Structure 1
Amino acid sequence: MTRALSLGLRGSALLAAAALSLTACSSSGSDSTDAEETPAAAAGTTLQEIQDAGVLTIGTEGTYSPFSFHEGGNGDLIGYDVEIAEAVAAELGVEAEFEETQFDGIFAGLEAGRFDMIANQISINPTRLEKYEMSEPYTVSPGVLIVTEDTTDIASFEDLAGKTTAQSLTSNWYELAEQNGAKVEAVEGFAQAVQLLQQGRVDATINDSLTLLDYQKQQGPSGLKIAAETDDPSENAFALRKGSTELLEAVNGALATLREDGTIASISEKYFGEDVSQ
């Protein structure tokens, strides 16, 4: 479940009411402490195994709007990541089957073999590249530092020193907050982070800009503002088990086709009003 924008927007990731990263920040959105790796990790998945089964099993939160969520809270699973993953599966000639799980356990599920791939605004970072196979990115979004509108003493990431932020412990933004001297209050997702921020129980939260954009679109005026944004945008991709190299090549080939024929841009426009895939 590595999850810029100006209060109105920009284009990159966000989150909705309910479980509303995310990501990562995004996001989730996503983080450096993907330490859910199990002692006996499952082997990589081959393309042949997927095609023989006729199914690509995909781990996702199901509560991370607009990327992976249930319309109206209990309708069908929909979202930007869901539709991109479904399109990739179709290119591979198989069905997409989703396994919903909380973000904090999503990497453990991948390692244990519960699913073949994660589609949940997973940010690409060095730690993840070491542990997992990461596809080409299908979302590009800067990270943003979010505070309440009346905040005057936080105008940069460096100003987080001695402050408290609300972050998912398995997101990239957790690492960024700690690197800048913040004390981190663990939360399950962006909605909870925003709630703590609006209640004055934390000083800030970091996530990707699309997550904030979606939240504001869904909730209306939020009393929040962006204090700063990261210099480098977060690139979000599918994560597969280490050793799934042939499957990874097929997924990247599918993404290239979907990019060329305009499918990704179309899905992006549907959810964000612009192409956030590059």
Structure 2
Amino acid sequence: MKAHSLLKGLVGAAFLIGAAVSAHAADTLAAVKAAGTLKVGTETAFAPFDYIDAGEHTGLNVDLFAEIGKELGVKIEWVALPWDGVFPALEAGKFDVVAGPATITKKRLERYRFTPPIAEATIAILKKAGDTTISKPEDIAGKKIGVGKATAQLDQLKEFSETLPTKVDVREYPAFTESYADLAAGRIAGVANSLPNIAFVASQRKGTFEVVLPPFGKKSYFGFIGLKDADHAPLMDAIDAAMLKIKADGRMAELQKKWFGASFDTPDAVKDPAF
């Protein structure tokens, strides 16, 4: 009788613990609000979205998440790490959402949930100022071109390379800042990155870099990333709603103009990416 009662008690306790854990996991938004903090993962070497200036973390993402935090009524806690470690850390629960941002692609949509787009991500080439050997995208054939490791820009560059008479000598970098340093030193002929990124870099280093136009590849967009499951759906719904409000009242356009020099006409959602 005692053994039966003890077993019954243990089963009941296990059920209650399991139910508590399940309820906690299923209410991520409530957990974030209870803690008063939204943890955001990112790298800090992707200007003008996230970068370090005079020792301070700055960029469009910092400003935009400050507005998202106001809408949700929480503070933002930043967690910085290399880009190729961001997605594994998100899945490991190190933070609630990824700022990045990341290009919205079909493959990524299968595994992750994206927020409304924050800017275009169409790829273009950055070259050294005065370099007359590259005047259009096709001129990178056979040349050493830097690109970020584990990025959609890498995939697009490789795809574009296949259309050229001589394949591009693709050089992968853990951080784009390293590729810009190699470009300035003449170790590579160009850097492939999204147009907003390289336009910002060129504007900050006039006389050093120039943008090669037009951009190439398929039109794409940047978005923030969260986990694609029922547990995180309430949190992602709340972030989406906050961002659409920020877009509707003009705050998004103001931030785009501040960091890119122009605003972007982006859709409210991307359900069928170009690639």
TM class by shorter chain equals: 0.7 to 0.9
Aligned match for 2:194, one of 199, 208, 211? 208
Question: Does the CA contact (< 8 Å) of 1:208 and 1:234 recur in 2?
Answer: no
Question: Does the CA contact (< 8 Å) of 1:196 and 1:202 recur in 2?
Answer: yes
Q: What's the offset of the Cα at 1:277?
A: 5.9
1:255 and 2:246 matched: no
Provide the rounded CA distance (Å) in 1 between the counterparts of 2:99 and 2:225: 7
Provide the rounded CA distance (Å) in 2 between the counterparts of 1:188 and 1:162: 22
Q: Which residue of 1 aligns with 2:22?
A: none
Provide the rounded CA distance (Å) in 2 between the counterparts of 1:112 and 1:253: 25
Q: Which residue of 1 aligns with 2:136?
A: 155
Aligned match for 1:137, one of 96, 113, 117? 117
Q: Which residue of 1 aligns with 2:253?
A: 265
Report the 3-state secondary structure (helix = DSSP H, G, I; strand = E; otherwise coil) of the residue aligned with 2:99.
strand
Percent identity of paired positions between Structure 1 and Structure 2: 26
1:105 and 2:91 matched: no
Unmatched tracts of structure 2, length 5 or more: 1-24, 162-166, 267-275
RMSD of aligned Cα (Å):
2.3
Unmatched tracts of structure 1, length 5 or more: 1-42
Q: What's the offset of the Cα at 1:228?
A: 4.0
Q: What's the offset of the Cα at 1:227?
A: 5.0
Provide the rounded CA distance (Å) in 1 between the counterparts of 2:134 and 2:258: 37
TM-score in terms of structure 1 length: 0.75
Q: What's the offset of the Cα at 1:164?
A: 2.7
Deviation string 1:216-264 (CA, Å, 9 cap, x unpaired) is 2222211434054125433111101221222221111111111111111
The higher radius of gyration belongs to 2
Q: Which residue of 1 aligns with 2:36?
A: 54
Q: What's the offset of the Cα at 1:208?
A: 1.1
Aligned match for 1:217, one of 203, 226, 240? 203
Amino acid corresponding to residue 276 of structure 1 in structure 2: F
1:94 and 2:81 matched: no
Amino acid corresponding to residue 156 of structure 1 in structure 2: P
Alpha-carbon distance change, 151 to 177 in structure 1, aligned in 2, over 3 angstroms: farther
Q: Which residue of 1 aligns with 2:177?
A: 191
Deviation string 1:33-67 (CA, Å, 9 cap, x unpaired) is xxxxxxxxxx7872222222221100122233322
Aligned match for 1:235, one of 196, 202, 221? 221
1:162-181 equivalence runs, <5 A: 162-179=142-159, 180=161, 181=167
Report the 3-state secondary structure (helix = DSSP H, G, I; strand = E; otherwise coil) of the residue aligned with 1:196.
helix
Amino acid corresponding to residue 108 of structure 1 in structure 2: P
Higher relative contact order (CA 8 A, sep 6+): 1
Provide the rounded CA distance (Å) in 1 between the counterparts of 2:104 and 2:97: 14
**Which stretch of structure 1 is more off in the superposition, 89-98 or 224-233?**
224-233
TM-score in terms of structure 2 length: 0.76
Report the 3-state secondary structure (helix = DSSP H, G, I; strand = E; otherwise coil) of the residue aligned with 2:127.
strand
Question: Does the CA contact (< 8 Å) of 1:268 and 1:277 recur in 2?
Answer: no
Alpha-carbon distance change, 191 to 277 in structure 1, aligned in 2, over 3 angstroms: farther
Q: Of Structure 1 and Structure 2, which has the larger fraction of its residues in helix?
A: 2
Q: Which residue of 2 aligns with 1:246?
A: 234
Deviation string 1:154-193 (CA, Å, 9 cap, x unpaired) is 7335x55543321111111111222224332121323321
Amino acid corresponding to residue 45 of structure 2 in structure 1: T
Deviation string 1:121-151 (CA, Å, 9 cap, x unpaired) is 2110112111211111011243102334424
